[in-house]
A and B are shown apart, each in its own frame.
Chain A
């Protein structure tokens, strides 16, 4: 648990109603050079991942609100996975590829939380002359190896990086986060056939299985259920987890196997914001100011509740 005064302040603030932006900036802004867990609140040996997720979620909501950008639902479903990856799993020799490029906001804010992107960077999101386009850019950010956003590319790219590491006998794993809708793409299946054939034991594919895709539920559009079963049929090692449980995420991502692995993370689109959860429209919609305020309040309340309960 985190007993930093932050959470007391949040609780107090919550009673008064809103958390003002200046309050958030003052409270959450951290030195960009130091990973979040190195702050007083989160000693390196005991990172409190759920609290970290909440911090990043608040920054994500603010970034999308300030930029008037939608796509927030699929960012919120992926956020626990990204924060756990970057703060608990990834080592310097590892590589991460975001195949579901429409979760760029979640990636950017997670990179902000590690110090790889600055507060100034995030303020430019989706604006003219930004490095942070709506989908990850091809050049200029060392932590982002490829421009993704066209679905069905990431797993093949990750397989190539994993094969490169194998051919060099180099250490390091490759993690690739996909959506569930993008398994409609044949190229995704080409990639796992290749990964299994090449025995890429250094490859871990995550599926953000939020059950909603571009214009309908996955079950209505191109039903692949049971997705985990299909992966097993392709001879992958498969694990199904709750994609919003940090301990479970970290446990699943850190396991090893003789070949490539898939972690199917059951998630909720718009997770943590009641009026967005499991709603297709939040694949696209930007927030109004009152919606943003409510979203922020709900995240803060969840933190306070968690803090009080721990």
Chain B
């Protein structure tokens, strides 16, 4: 998704208000962006707390700064700088975290981002974008480049199943019709799930919904009807349970007095075996891989 990110950002490099700050990362990915806006592409060094403060100062003078690093270095290390200097004054700074969830795989736990959007969404004015497919980046970046609020972009690895044409970008998308359950998925995990469920009959498979922006806002009536029809809402996210999508939607449904017969939650469980591996390895350990998710749905149905 990083190349698509760079490509889409370059469409905006002529905007005089656009400044890109990187925490000394971007090798073999961001060079074209740097070349397209040399004065406004700033390598702020390995100093993320300062980079976020500088972004806030730039935003104060009317610029639209983008702050880029590996995900945990952009939301966890400088958390207080984000809270005090970007979220509280509501400045339109975009934080970009590369490698959402277990994206950095065997690079290890320091590079994983399992609580990024939960943590950031506790902050005032903050909005989170979780693209699932490369084709989502264009509209998301357009929004982030022009919005009046601070936001976070969680980059992952786009997975588009063969023969599947992702529908145009929207916060909520209904990707696959199905009857066995209503699956609500955040982020690129959805690609593998769509690949598997489209091999199943409509009766056997879940209805698959994708969400790409948080907080939830108004929940679409079509989604609520779908949940009522199937009687089982299953939330899938590469994020810890606390502060994640599962908690957000169950909270909102309870506030709206919507009764869900069955609710299940598939989430990042950290480091189950204490061992490390690829993103796929960690997804399997947390039972977030498509086979585990579908097996769990089937087990609940019987």
Residues of A within 8 A of B (CB): 138-139, 145-148, 150, 152-153, 155-165, 167-168, 170, 186-187, 190-191, 193-194, 197-198
Contacts and interface: CB of A to CB of B under 8 A. Distances in A.
B273 to A, nearest CB: 35
Interface of B: 19, 39-40, 42, 44-45, 47, 49-50, 52-63, 65, 80-81, 84-85, 88-90
B47 A193 contact: yes
Count chain B CB atoms within 10 A of each CB in A152, A157, A170 and give the residue with the most: A157
B60 A161 contact: yes
B54 A163 contact: yes
Given A160-B55, A194-B50, A168 B81 contact: no
Given A153-B84, A156-B81, A194-B50, A164 B57 contact: yes
A197 to B, nearest CB: 7
B57 to A, nearest CB: 2
Given A150-B84, A167-B63, 6 more contacts: A139-B90, A145-B60, A147-B84, A156-B54, A187-B81, A197-B45
7 contacts: A153-B80, A156-B52, A157-B53, A167-B39, A167-B40, A167-B63, A193-B45
Contacts of A138: 84, 88-89
B50 A164 contact: no
A164 B19 CA distance: 9
A190 B47 CA distance: 6
A190 B60 contact: no
A147 B40 contact: no
Contacts of A153: 53, 80-81, 84-85
B40 A161 contact: no
A266 to B, nearest CB: 27
Contact of B53 (A159, A186, A193, A198): A159
Contact of A146 (B44, B47, B84): B84
Contact of B57 (A157, A190, A197): A157
Contact of B89 (A146, A159, A194): A146
6 nearest A-B residue pairs (beta carbon): A160-B57, A156-B53, A164-B61, A190-B50, A190-B47, A160-B54
Contacts of B85: 146-147, 153, 157
B84 A161 contact: no
Contact of A194 (B40, B44, B65, B88): B44
Contacts of A160: 53-61, 65
Count chain B CB atoms within 10 A of each CB in A160, A163, A165, A186 and give the residue with the most: A160
Contacts of B40: 167
A194 B54 contact: yes
B298 to A, nearest CB: 50
Given A164-B61, A167-B63, A191-B50, A157 B56 contact: yes
B84 A194 contact: no
A167 B19 contact: yes
Contacts of B52: 156
Contacts of A145: 60
A43 B53 CA distance: 39
